[in-house]
């Protein structure tokens, strides 16, 4: 007798390495700046902390895809598969601005955790991220998969699904548990690289 249930799939969702806009303090959203040299070093350091995975997936944005490629090469898993549902949340007019510029143009919004007009709503971010997780689980049922994505997306999942307020430095993240009925649950948090470890390497 066959069953339609698939086993639970575990996904380790990590934030990418440092990008050029991380280094300059600019809000990225779905803009596509590349990794810095520090970001590449962070990816290598993270790979050294990881075991093997059944697959490696990433956001289509280059800062995540490049981080994933570096890790995949080091752990011997690949090729990296890309999914647009793993992209960072879109932040409309804030993309490319510094925190000071955002505060000047939208006073109080950051403190109150408000988003500007034109930004992607949290519910939409969660919906596409959950769909991406289910697509990944279908490709690796019962497996363990590494996903390289973005802090805003991971933080939104934690807030909406797990009622957690968590910050994610580069190369930190959380385990996601994808159940056979499509539900995604938040697991334990992971930090592979100390935020200050590469600050003086350039």
At residue 70, the 3 state secondary structure works out as helix
Contact 36, 16 (CB under 8 A): no
In angstroms, rounded to a whole number, what is the distance separating the alpha carbons of residues 115 and 159? 15
As a whole number of angstroms, the distance between CA 43 and CA 89 comes to 22
Catalytic residue among 16, 66, 83, 150: 16
CA–CA distance, 202 with 199 (Å, rounded to integer): 8
pTM greater than 0.85: yes
Instruction: Tell me the pLDDT tens digit for each residue of 145-200.
Output: 999 999 999 999 999 999 999 999 999 999 999 999 999 999 999 999 987 766 54
Active site annotation includes 144: no
179 given a catalytic annotation? no
Q: Which of 83, 88, 120, 150 is catalytic?
A: 88
CA distance linking residue 185 with residue 115, whole number of Å: 25
Residue 201 has pLDDT above 90, yes or no: no
- Running DSSP on this structure, what letter comes out for residue 11? E
Q: What is the pLDDT of residues 57-98, one digit of tens each?
A: 999 999 999 999 999 999 999 899 999 999 999 999 999 999
Q: Which helix (H) or strand (E) covers residue 63, if one does?
A: helix 62-75
Q: Which domains does the chain have, with CATH numbers?
A: 9-191 (3.40.50.1240)
């Amino acid at each position: 007798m066959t069953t339609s249930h698939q086993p639970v799939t575990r996904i380790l969702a990590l934030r990418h390495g440092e990008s050029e806009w991380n280094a300059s303090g600019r809000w990225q959203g779905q803009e596509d700046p590349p990794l810095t040299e520090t970001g590449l070093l962070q990816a290598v350091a993270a790979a050294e902390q990881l075991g093997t995975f059944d697959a490696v997936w990433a956001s289509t944005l280059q800062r995540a895809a490049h981080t994933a490629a570096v890790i995949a090469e080091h752990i011997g898993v690949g090729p990296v598969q890309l999914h647009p549902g793993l992209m960072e949340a879109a932040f409309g007019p804030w993309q490319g601005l510094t925190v000071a510029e955002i505060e000047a143009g939208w006073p109080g919004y950051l403190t109150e955790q408000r988003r500007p007009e034109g930004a992607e709503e949290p519910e939409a971010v969660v919906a596409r991220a959950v769909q991406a997780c289910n697509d990944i689980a279908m490709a690796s049922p019962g497996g363990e998969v590494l996903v390289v994505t973005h802090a805003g997306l991971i933080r939104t999942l934690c807030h909406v699904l797990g009622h957690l307020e968590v910050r994610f430095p580069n190369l930190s993240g959380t385990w996601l548990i994808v159940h056979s009925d499509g539900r995604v649950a938040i697991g334990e948090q992971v930090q592979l690289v100390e935020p200050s470890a590469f600050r003086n390497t350039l």
